[in-house]
Chain A
Amino acid sequence: MFRFLIKRLLLASTTLVAISIVTFLLFFAVPSSPAWVMCGRNCSPERIAQVEQSLGLDQPITKQYTDFVQGIFVGRTIDDAGTIRECEAPCLGYSFRSKEPVTDTITRSLPITVSIVGGAMVIFLTVGVGLGMLAALKKGTVFDRVAIGASVGFASTQTYTLGGVLLLVLVYSTGLLPNPHYTPITENPLDWASGMLLPWITLGLINSAMYARLSRAQMIETLQEDFVRTARAKGLSPGVVNRRHALRAAITPIVTIAGVDLGAYLGGVVITESVFSLNGIGREAAQAVTDLNLPIVMATVLLAAFFIVTMNIIVDMLYAVIDPRVRLG
């Protein structure tokens, strides 16, 4: 277990370093003038020169990269036109557009993304997996067909379509729900939940469709396995066989996929956040792209990759815990 962890961590850090180099090169070496891009259209040549200097763009690219990495681990100072800006330990750069360290933007928007993803996950892990398992047990019945038909439909639905229709019906036409908004859970849990309800339903339902199909297929396959037949032959009640024996085996691959999905979503659920105008990481990144706010773009890409890689490791470890057949070498 320990050796496996070390090996995976090494591999993961190689991947992260490679991704950071690629993104760094793309964003800082490819544009002819990153300073111009970052400063904006109405930027005077003097200001561009200032930005160039404070970003260290006049220095060789390797120095720029090591400065960036140093900023992440020990922090750095950035000289913005004479004003020295302190950028503390996990320093991902300084945004000249928003005039604040990138870390501030991220700490502001990450809780929003986490709130959306957390709630949606609860929905698709209960509704989606539950429906899929039930459909597998009632295979061939009307319930099964309706569940599968609905899941095919929802799986082809775009987040913005479902989100837009829900907004139209529940907010704009009837006023049943308030416009989606973010209130920190520590301030007012009720308001937090009511503001997040629409994104939860939207992301939750669309993913439920995929999870229902997946868990149905998994459960059907498991129910045909020998150990399930053995359990039945022992005279165990169908409930015990389904819950204790089949479900446990069928759920393992689902946990893996849910973990990988969680990693991907934490990096920003761009479309969901955009439909509901919530300033999570994804919308912040999309906005930064439109404004060519490179430090934020770079930081969000890295953060998203970090979540993906980390969740992959966690899933691998978890796999060994819930599935005794897996032995980590």
Chain B
Amino acid sequence: MSLKKWREDDLNELFSERLKSVGLRQARWRYTKDVLSLMRPSLIKRQPRDNPRLSLFSTDMLSNYIKIAWRNLIRNKGYSFINIGGLAVGMTIAILIGLWIYDELSFNKSFQHYDRIAQVMRNRTVNGETDTRMGLPIPLAQSLKTSYGDSRNGGPFKRVVLSWWTSLHTISVSDQVFSKSGKFMTPEAPEMLSLTMRRGSRAGLTEPASILLSASLAKTLFGEENPLHKTLTIDNTMTVNVTGVYDDLPAGSSFADVQFIAPWDLYAASTDWVNEAKDDWTNTSFEVFIELAPSVSFADVSATIRNLLVGKTSADVARKPEVLLYPMSRWHLYSDWKNGVNEGGRIQFVWLFGLIGLFVLLLACINFMNLSTARSVNRAKEVGIRKAIGSRRQELVAQFFGESLLVVTLAFGVAIGLVFLSMPFFNQIADKQMVTPFTNPLFWVLGAGFALLTGLIAGSYPALYLSSFRPVAVLKGAIQTSKSIATPRRLLVVLQFTVSITLIIGTLIVYRQIQFARNRPIGYNRNGLISMVLNVPHYEKHRETVRNELIRSGAVLEVAESASPLTEVQSTNGGFDWAGKDPTLQINFGTIGISHEFGKTVGWTFKQGRDFSRQLASDSLGIVLNESAVAFMGMKDVLGKTISWNGNGFNVSFHVIGVIRDMVMDSPYEPAQPSVFFISPKHGQFLTMRLNPTQSPQDALATIGDVLKEHLPAAPFNYTFVDDEYDQKFRTEERIGTLAFIFATLAIFISCLGIFGLASFMAEQRTREIGVRKVLGASVLNLWGLLSKDFVFLALIGFGMATPIAWYFLHNWLQEYTYRTDISWWVFAVSGAGALLVTLLTVSFQSIKAALMNPVKSLRSE
């Protein structure tokens, strides 16, 4: 309660009068009564101010704010640059990461039935470990419909589509041959995938001799001509009519490389083993997709079909087969399976990068706040004057928020430009085809909201802090700004160091892990090795000619066939038996049928025994094991032992002729799968050639192309280098490494900008102190130490905090790899030393400049 001064004065005067007339007691008594009865709401309530209020956003004040903000930016060009530049870089990263996350999350969403499609999967338990696979037997597809009914009779399935894996096939039109990837699917596929038809209709797969082409493939094959009803040949055996052309499936989808779809029946009719498998529950080589009826849920249907495979085959009983649905919405981001449960996958990177983006943005905001608070001393007088002439606190808060929003808006503009410019580069690193969505209103709404939020966060500290200055103290110059805000500013710098050093450590470890896996012995020589897909009927008729001609041409040292490419084991089987086998052992060997020269071509090395030989007829029933297989079987002296393979309709006895060192065919981070190699009775799907190192690869490839054209015209020479294929295995990790490297670099850059600004500001503040010290005899080294030691200290604290954080996350990350590098101490030492060095360089520039200044000059002013 505030009694107005004059009221109090009146009361006092009355008291002194009464003192004379009625005496002290009475006067006191009446004074008290008066005071008490003055406490009435009508007097206590706030009195209106004497001067008129200006509205918070009157145009005069607004234009004044803008003018002052602009002048501040212009006057301090260096700081403005650091502020806007740092913030813009931070925002660019945040926007790029935001777009990347958006792209990842919208994967596959282009399909109309996105939330209804699932792939049918199966779990099986081998030697106590459950693994989850996509391969299913053909009869399962029919059984899904017949046992559970389709949606027209109230069943859960709207569509069930049987399919063969997306793979390369030879497409020939008149005399041209192409190698293109596509699928063979049952006729309901186009409806399920909601293909957008440019020509023809989605019913185009009902006739067996038909094919649907993607728009781009149609253009490659037929140019501008109408492709409908044209004839072409697939794999030189299947002649089909083009019955439709669909829009290319988007790059952000699991079917992006499906350039054509041909009918399943055609594939079954022209491929003997597929035809034989049509009622075979043991041949689990095929894909099944389903589209659910709108009314049912994946979980419910998964539960009902769970035991569909139980009891279908004798081998499966022990393996506890389970059927489950894998919804399309999880295909991309949740692709990891552990013990039969779908968990994790790419989503971890979405989180990781999201977190990094946030942190980089946070760094930029910290810079902004640090510089603004540091420079607040210079604005303190302005605040004092504004307050003295009647500014209220809200107005000052609004002014400083406004200023920070102005800077943020400028930074946002720069960031949009940077995003646009860096997009091609980013796409290349991240393996994306993103565009800056300039036309998407959501992008702008999010962008503006995001800028507003940044502005508010970044501006909050200066706005709330500066506006709290007391005008009298400020104008007297008594304000001790450096003391009161130094602690939070130091905290923010420590946070910056923590984030930067964590990112540096992360980058180093990721690169070390990649290097570690790369340096692993791979068991064969991948240099100068090329491989191609062989879709030629009865290749065995041409085999000898082709091989001899290729070797005779001098371009190739050796040629071999195999059922799986060198970089992937495509076929695994059980049914192996040998003397002394532990009956509980469940077997899942990689089975790779090869030709005699395969070992010689790829350059595998023997631990025991010998390679296949054409001279020994008995070698056609010989078998070569890898080390892992021998270890798995637990046999010593395996050479010459007999291993029998009991499959569907066949029973072969092999004798072991050799043991090779493990070849890395699948993941370079995992141990090699136990595998067996045998001479395949049929020709292999893949042709591998060892180029002659005395010829240049270009010449050799040209020669091979000519030879193949002459002797094997049906096969397009569509080759890949095995070492390229092998490098593909590192792409994911390399991508993380590169992105982490870029983010770390930029985080450090932003932090350095901030430290640079702070250091120069501090040096400026201490100009006179430095002058005095120099006059009194301080050396440049002294002064350099004086100005730098603060930051070094902060960097050390940051390092101390970053170490456990980085260790924790990277340790967890590395646990996912069986073959992994250790986290050695020097990585931390190098990161810490690096951060310290960069800090010192940044700070030294300013501190040495300040230390070298002529004291006469710095002391003369004022």
Q: Do these two chains interact?
A: no
